[in-house]
Amino acid sequence: MGITLRQFEELKQRVNGPKRSAVPVFEASNSVGQSKRHQVILGVDPSLRGTGFGVIRLARPTPQLLAQGTVKCSATWERSRCLVRIAEELRAVIKQHKPTICIIEALFYAQNLQTALLMGEARGASLLVAAEAGLEIFELAPRKVKQAIVGYGGAQKSAVARMVQRMLRLAQLPTPDAADALALALTHAQETARFSLTPAKRI
Amino acid sequence: MGITLRQFEELKQRVNGPKRSAVPVFEASNSVGQSKRHQVILGVDPSLRGTGFGVIRLARPTPQLLAQGTVKCSATWERSRCLVRIAEELRAVIKQHKPTICIIEALFYAQNLQTALLMGEARGASLLVAAEAGLEIFELAPRKVKQAIVGYGGAQKSAVARMVQRMLRLAQLPTPDAADALALALTHAQETARFSLTPAKRI
């Protein structure tokens, strides 16, 4: 019986003392370890007039809903006022539920440049709040979320909402914006619970 | 000699007491009044990797430079880290110089949706900081700024920088990003100093 490369490295390290650079620890890449470290996940689907958010706690047998909702901003409000409201509500949610991970919807399509710019502004405010609160931030494409939740990348919003309701055992169907945000959090939970070949992009 | 509608309204108000809703006060639409109330103007040209900013104080015979610079973010940084840096630096500038007005560059062109989205994120973070600090925020199109500063809407960036240097009597040519931000502030100063038919759009 020989000695594995890992065992050899460990022996070498014991002899030479710890390496100066950080070494990946086995537990950190272990799925159970990760899901334990990140038990509360915030999903955000940013939009200037209706930012959806959802917070879940990883649990067995099913994840547990902690919060969900939509930050509603009147169409008559100035854009800067909407951004302030989005920031205030997300800060309150983060303060109350203390998530350690934020999953935000990646945008790859918009009707036009102006729409992309406005969606970008809502994303910028959301990202800033999450980053200043110290959350790890990842983005997920809508298509990938639909694939993970419904099993079909082109699924309709209502199908996503129904699956989210079932996965979290909710009495009521979540509103579309909140359902999208919860779907983001649930997708990340699924991906970290098993060995993922294509990890979410950290932003 | 008759009585004007305004005089009639004023008389009616004296008889009936003040209206419950806010009425536009004459001084507020008076150019001198406005420029006195808003003596310090912050211009921001947001971009994820190089947000330009400039602060001027209205003064005679020429506006006075209070601060200028670029928030540099390494291309290797995560986007959320850039947004945090932009927010931190703008908050520090606002705290130090106490501007009451923020002029931000309006975007009407981007190479593609992804670029518009990234610019939107930087704008969102900047707008949020300015709005939370209580500044009045307006946006100006780059073409309009060039028209006001150089006299030609298609002017080159270097021409804008040279005119900004001359208008503020700076010893050195400002960097391109800072020059754009200062040009925004100077354009707003010009527009409020005279009766403007097309006021900047409040956002």
List the domains of chain B with CATH numbers. Answer: 34-202 (3.30.420.10)
Minimum mean pLDDT range among A98-102, A116-120, A125-129:
A116-120
In SS3 terms, chain B reads as: CCCCHHHHHHHHHHHHCCCCCCCCCHHHHCHHHHHHHCCEEEEEECCCCEEEEEEEECCCCCCEEEEEEEEECCCCCCHHHHHHHHHHHHHHHHHHHCCCEEEEECCCCCCCHHHHHHHHHHHHHHHHHHHHCCCEEEEECHHHHHHHHCCCCCCCHHHHHHHHHHHCCCCCCCCHHHHHHHHHHHHHHHHHHCCCCCCCEEC
Q: Quick one: pLDDT at residue B23?
A: 38
Euclidean distance between CA atoms B187 and B149, whole angstroms: 7
Strand pairing of A40-45 and A101-105?
Answer: parallel
Q: Is B45 a catalytic residue?
A: yes
* Cα dihedral B30, B32, B36, B42 in deg (nearest 10): 80
Phi, psi of A100 (to 5 degrees): -110, -10
Which of the four pLDDT bands, split at 50, 70 and 90, describes residue B9?
A: low
Which of the four pLDDT bands, split at 50, 70 and 90, describes residue B198?
A: low
Asked if the Cβ–Cβ distance from A80 to B131 is below 8 Å, we say yes
The amino acid occupying position A199 is: P
Distance from CA of A112 to the nearest CA of B (A): 7
Determine the 3-state secondary structure of B126 from DSSP.
helix
Interface of B with A in 67-106 (CB under 8 A): 78-81, 83-84, 87
Chain A residue whose CA is closest to B138 = A80
- Res B27 pLDDT > 70: no
Q: Quick one: pLDDT at residue A176?
A: 92
Average pLDDT in the A93-109 region? 92
Whether the CB of A201 is below 8 Å from some CB of chain B: the reply is: no
In the predicted model, what is the mean pLDDT of chain B?
83
Helix axes A79-97, B113-132, angle to 10 degrees: 80
Whether the CB of A65 is below 8 Å from some CB of chain B: the reply is: no
Q: Quick one: pLDDT at residue B32?
A: 42
- Res A196 pLDDT > 90: no
Whether the CB of A137 is below 8 Å from some CB of chain B: the reply is: yes
- Would you tell me how many other CB atoms lie within 10 Å of the CB of residue B133? 17
B-chain residues within 8 Å CB-CB of A108? 113-114
* Cα dihedral B121, B127, B128, B129 in deg (nearest 10): 110
- Res B178 pLDDT > 70: yes
In chain A, the percentage of residues whose pLDDT exceeds 70 is 77
The amino acid occupying position A34 is: Q
Q: Quick one: pLDDT at residue B35?
A: 44
Average pLDDT in the A50-67 region? 93
Q: Quick one: pLDDT at residue A199?
A: 61
- Res B177 pLDDT > 90: yes
Whether the CB of A113 is below 8 Å from some CB of chain B: the reply is: yes
In chain B, the percentage of residues whose pLDDT exceeds 70 is 77
3-state DSSP helix/strand/coil percent for chain A, to nearest 5?
50, 15, 35
Please work out, in degrees rounded to the nearest 5, the angle formed at the alpha carbon of residue B125 by the alpha carbons of B123 and B127. Answer: 65
Which of the four pLDDT bands, split at 50, 70 and 90, describes residue B203?
A: confident
- Res A152 pLDDT > 80: yes
What tens digit of pLDDT does each residue of B50-107 get? 999 999 999 888 899 999 999 999 999 999 999 999 999 999 999 999 999 999 998 7
DSSP state of B171: S
Mark residue B196 as left, alpha or beta (left: phi above 0; alpha: psi -120 to 50; beta: remaining): beta
Q: Quick one: pLDDT at residue A203?
A: 83
Tokens of A22: 């950080």
Euclidean distance between CA atoms B110 and B116, whole angstroms: 6
Determine the 3-state secondary structure of B151 from DSSP.
coil
Catalytic residue among B105, B139, B180, B191: B105
Q: Quick one: pLDDT at residue B191?
A: 81
- Would you tell me how many other CB atoms lie within 10 Å of the CB of residue A22? 6
Determine the straight-line distance between the first and last CA of chain B, rounded to whole angstroms. 43
Tokens of A54: 């959802």
Minimum mean pLDDT range among A164-168, B5-9, B110-114, B169-173:
B5-9
B78, B108, B124: residue with CB nearest A124? B124
A108, A114, A127: residue with CB nearest B80? A127
Q: Quick one: pLDDT at residue B190?
A: 87
In the predicted model, what is the mean pLDDT of chain A?
83
- Res A7 pLDDT > 70: no
Determine the straight-line distance between the first and last CA of chain A, rounded to whole angstroms. 45
- Res B6 pLDDT > 80: no
Catalytic residue among B89, B139, B177, B180: B177
- Res A46 pLDDT > 50: yes
Catalytic residue among B9, B10, B27, B45: B45
Whether the CB of B28 is below 8 Å from some CB of chain A: the reply is: no
